[in-house]
Amino acid sequence: MTCLPAKTDKALGLVIDLDTCVGCHACVTACKGWNDQGYGAPLSDQNPYGSDPSGTFLNRVHSYQVVPDLTGGVQAAAQIINFPRSCLHCADAPCVTVCPTGASYKRVEDGIVLVNEDACIGCGLCAWACPYGAREMDADAGVMKKCTLCVDRIYNENLPEEDREPACVRTCPTGARHFGDLGDPDSDVSKLVASRGGYDLMPEQATRPTNKYLPPRKKDRPDQASLLAPLLDIQATGFAGWLDKVLGKL
């Protein structure tokens, strides 16, 4: 049993825009690449060229299909939602409180949930406790791996200041990933959440996630433009009439 801090100085986290995520997996491999050589044990791969390859990823993208309900007897087209999934750095993180050794903890200064790998016994309780499936046990190292919010990038004085952001945010081609202090209502990310109706994932779990998702904008709306009116009745006037009319406008 590990305690959560009563409050944190900041609430660093991600805001992920489901309206612009094209499901390209750029964030997945940028994360894998950075964290394979970053904080803690490398992200190992088992059977990388074999029949059942599997490896540790701190961030994965899933694609879901949504078939809208019938409205007024009309079936709108099915949609694909691409959904990146990683640790949400919850305020009430059940993965921390379940940890028997204190290896899982939430940082007081910024709210990042981390695993102290030296203290992790690989029991896996935290992964069971996480309702989001955001933790993965590394099969080679035998320790629990999870998103660190690139804690070894965001304060890293060996990186140029503009690069002090998580690898997934730096690489996202559509700009669907945003990083900042969600505890500060005046931060860019908080304003973005407010303006776009950002929401908590599975709020009924009472985990109070820091990360927020921005919902897809409404799609396939009936067109607003009024239809084009023909210049005249071409069948009646013939082509010459149309030509005179159209060129008269020149």
Partner 1 sequence: MNQPRVDTSPHVSDEIRQTTCYMCACRCGINVHLKSGKVSYIEGNRDHPINKGVLCAKGASGIMQVTAPSRLRAPLKRVGPRGSGAFEEISWDEALEIATGWLKPLRETAPEKLAFFTGRDQSQSFTGWWAQAFGTPNYAAHGGFCSVNMAAAGIYTLGGAFWEFGAPDWERSKLFVLFGVAEDHDSNPIKIGIGKMKDRGARVIGVNPIRSGYNAVADDWIGITPGTDGLMILSLIHCLLEAGKVDLDYLARYTNAALLVSEAEGAEKGLFVRNAEAQPFVIDRRTGAPAPWDGKGVEPDLGAVWQGHRTVFQHMAERYLAPDYAPEAVAARCGVSAARIRALAAELADVAFNQAIVLDRPWVDFRGDAHTHMVGRPVSFHAMRGISAHSNGFQTARALHLLQILLGAVETPGSWRMKPPYPKPVEAHPTPHFGVVPGKPLNGPHLGYVRGPEQLALHPDGSAVRIDKAFTWENPFSAHGMMHMVIPNAHAGDPYKIDTLFLYMANMSWNSSMNSGRVMEMLTDKGADGDYVIPRIIYSDAYASEMVAYADLILPDTTYLERHDCISMLDRPCSEPEAAGDAIRWPVVEPDRDVRGFQSVLLDLGVRLGLGPMVNPDGSAKFKDYADYIVNHQRRPGVGPLMGFRGADGQGEGRGDVNPDQMQRYIDNGGFFQAHVPENAGFFKPWNAGYQDWAVEVGLYETPQPYLFNIWSEPMRRFQLAAEGHGFVLPPDHLRARLIQSMDPLPLWYAPYGDAEDGFDVHALTQRPMAMYHSWGSQNAWLRQIHGKNPLYVPTKIWEQHGFSEGDYARVTSANGQIEVPVAHMAALNENTVWTWNAIGKRKGAWALDEGAPEATEGFLLNHLISELLPPKGDGMRYSNSDPVTGQAAWFDLRVKIDRIAPQAEAQPAFPKLHRVVPKGGRRE
Could you tell me the smallest distance in angstroms from the CB atom of residue 204 to partner 1?
A: 27
Could you tell me the smallest distance in angstroms from the CB atom of residue 40 to partner 1?
A: 10
Could you tell me the smallest distance in angstroms from the CB atom of residue 137 to partner 1?
A: 16
Q: Dihedral sign, CA of 182, 187, 188, 193?
A: positive
A 10 A CB-CB count for 97 gives 15
Could you tell me the smallest distance in angstroms from the CB atom of residue 132 to partner 1?
A: 20
Binding track, positions 200-219, relative to partner 1; x by CB under 8 A: ----------------xx-x
A 10 A CB-CB count for 60 gives 17
* One of 11, 16, 28, 120 touching partner 1 (CB under 8 A): 28
User: H or E segment at 86?
Assistant: none
**Applying CB under 8 A, what is the total number of residues that bind partner 1?**
88
Binding residues for partner 1 restricted to 46-75, rule: CB under 8 A = 47-55, 57, 63, 65, 67
How far apart, in whole angstroms, are the C-alpha atoms of residue 189 and residue 217? 18
Written as one string, the DSSP assignment of 193-215 is: HHHHT-B-SSGGG----S-EEEP
Are 209 and 106 within 8 A, CB to CB?
A: no
How far apart, in whole angstroms, are the C-alpha atoms of residue 78 and residue 158? 47
* One of 97, 98, 101, 119 touching partner 1 (CB under 8 A): 119
Could you tell me the smallest distance in angstroms from the CB atom of residue 155 to partner 1?
A: 4
User: H or E segment at 211?
Assistant: none
How far apart, in whole angstroms, are the C-alpha atoms of residue 146 and residue 39? 10
Binding residues for partner 1 restricted to 145-184, rule: CB under 8 A = 151-152, 154-159, 162, 167, 170-176
Choose the stretch contacting partner 1; rule: CB under 8 A; options: 31-39, 85-93, 126-134, 205-213: 31-39
CA angle 162, 93, 203 (to 5 degrees): 95
Closest CB to partner 1 among residues 54, 128: 54
194 binds partner 1 (CB under 8 A): no
* One of 161, 186, 204, 223 touching partner 1 (CB under 8 A): 223
Binding residues for partner 1 restricted to 77-116, rule: CB under 8 A = 77-82, 105, 107-108, 114, 116
Paired tokens of 175: 């700009």
